[in-house]
Amino acid sequence: MEHNTFGRELLARVMAGSGSGPESLTHVADIPSRRAEFAPWPAWVPPRVREGLIDEGVREPWRHQAEAAEHAHAGRHVVVSTGTASGKSLAYQLPVLAALADDPLATVLYLSPTKALGTDQHRAAVRLTTAYGPADVSPSMYDGDTSQEMRRWARSDSRWVFANPDMLHVGLLPRHAKWARFLRGLRYVVVDECHHYRGVFGSHTAVVLRRLLRVAAKYGAAPTVICASATTSDPAGAASRLIGADCVAVTEDSSPHGPRTVALWEPPLLPDLEGENGAPVRRPATTEAARMLSDLVVEGARTLAFVRSRRSAESVALSARRMLAEATPELAERIAAYRAGYLADDRRALERGLNDGALLGVATTNALELGVDIAGLDAVLMAGFPGTVASFWQQAGRSGRRGQGSLILMIARDDPLDTYLVHHPDSLLGRPVEATITDPWNPYVLGPQMLCAAGEMPLTRAEVVRLGAVDVVGRLVADGLLRERPAGYFLAAGIDPHAGVNIRGGAGSEILIVEENSGRLLGTVDFTRALSTVHEGAVHVHRASPTWWTRSTSTTAWHWCTRRSRSGRRRLARTSMCM
């Protein structure tokens, strides 16, 4: 059956400009549109909030939004696990806004794994509370980009704080006495995109959340946790393991979406190039992505191209801009790169461009994979399989967020796994998403976390048993890091455990990249990545602009290596490196 959809039209344009035969398109499938299922407004939603949301176009909540909101309002920990663009934000906003309106002392903590997502949700919260109240909420950011003045203001005045697990670990919990007002009124903890908390990062975050609930209980609060997740296997079990308490799952997606065309693409072989032992070599996936990105931008299609590395994001955006520079320079200026490591102002400018349509094409890492609300995207390109089926559908869900048709196209890298998937589409498109795996009882995670917990307030024996840390705490006592007393376990003198625990599992410190000639700070990179990407002789590309290409033979830049000593103070070490 032939489908005449917008996604098919975009695919035809991509194929026309490919310069390769139809054999490159190994599979194409059409996902039909879905109609919305609505539910009545919960009776407890404040009238002003309800009327304001109706004015913004939310006639009624979708059924899964209302169901999740009812669970949270009743005080049950809940996880809403539905597809991308299914309106999970409203599911937590309804009980949060109701609590803030009903109780002038109530507070809310929102946690996200990325700064981009936190900023996006903070922006929405400011708009909602400014327009529909209550007026004294003052939503505030509390992350690594927040100034010291704004951090103090968030601590003393904000009732809705937007943070991440990192700042919760090193900023809020070690200084919980200064946050007494906020913690005393804590009604809800929102954990957004909780499927992202897996592996070492997820295991650390699980214990950080247990520490938060433990400290909140000290101030008399028993907050309800609302988790939002993309579709995942066993969401109730994963969320319960994350927060250390039973969670109710809402999984039936009642949101609408437009028709989607999913295509799998294998780049053609390069006739004049051979690999090891004469093996054939295919055109790089990033080269294909740059060409397709430029073709789609010419068609006026707003497009995200997901790549696997920061360097690839810069190179794809730069290549696409070069392809358009001579014929349509005005379109070339509407293509950009987005990745971690940019300064806060640069990230905010790119996010504004994505939201208001100033940018038509963006090459990005998985920094934009999570639930940032980007309206009106027409196409998503993936230069290589993103690693999990869950990530594939998460990236795919960036397109068609307002009900229109869209194109999702995955380009195979010259890699055995990618080659297999594009020739066996059922292994990708017909396979259920993976489970979210965390292990908060891993002794290498639990040991440092128990030191942090004891530093916040002494651990009682009942808590140690409840956390499953009896053996771990015993070893910490034997090593002299904890002191056992009749009242419980106390942190040994002279130990600062928080600064020594990187909950994302990284090693080393953060490198600031500075252009020597102008002294301009360009961005940051972690120490381990710096060893392979910004060493002397390397080329650093900034925001996909050729004007930022310099080499060590012509100019030298400096980076400042920021390290924390055991006392928590930072010291600087300067070395020469190329940009």
- SS3 letters for 64-115? HHHHHHHHHHCCCCEEEECCCCCCHHHHHHHHHHHHHHHCCCCEEEEECCCH
pLDDT of residue 371: 55
> Tens digits of per-residue pLDDT, 129-169?
988 878 889 999 999 889 999 999 999 999 999 999 999 99
* CB-CB contact of 248 with 237 (8 Å): no
Q: CA 227, CA 243: separation in Å to the nearest integer?
A: 9
> Tens digits of per-residue pLDDT, 456-475?
999 999 999 999 999 999 99
Question: 95 preceded by cis ω (within 30°)?
Answer: no
> Tens digits of per-residue pLDDT, 484-529?
999 999 999 988 899 889 898 764 566 778 777 777 777 777 776 7
Please return the burial class of 527, using the count of CB atoms within 10 Å of its CB with bins 0-12, 13-18 and 19+: middle
List the structure tokens of 559.
């980076």
Q: Which residues pair with 80 in a beta bridge?
A: 228, 250
User: How far does CA 114 lie from the centroid of its chain?
Assistant: 4
> Helix 88-102 and helix 63-73: axis angle, to 10°?
40
* Residue matched to tokens 């079990």: 237
> Which one-letter DSSP state was computed for residue 552?
T
Q: Do β-strands 521-526 and 482-485 pair in parallel, antiparallel, or remain unpaired?
A: unpaired
> Tens digits of per-residue pLDDT, 187-231?
999 999 998 899 999 999 999 999 999 999 999 999 999 999 987
Q: CA 452, CA 462: separation in Å to the nearest integer?
A: 17
Is the model's pLDDT at 576 over the cut of 70?
Answer: no
Least Cα distance to 162 among 94, 112, 96, 110 occurs for 110
pLDDT of residue 571: 32
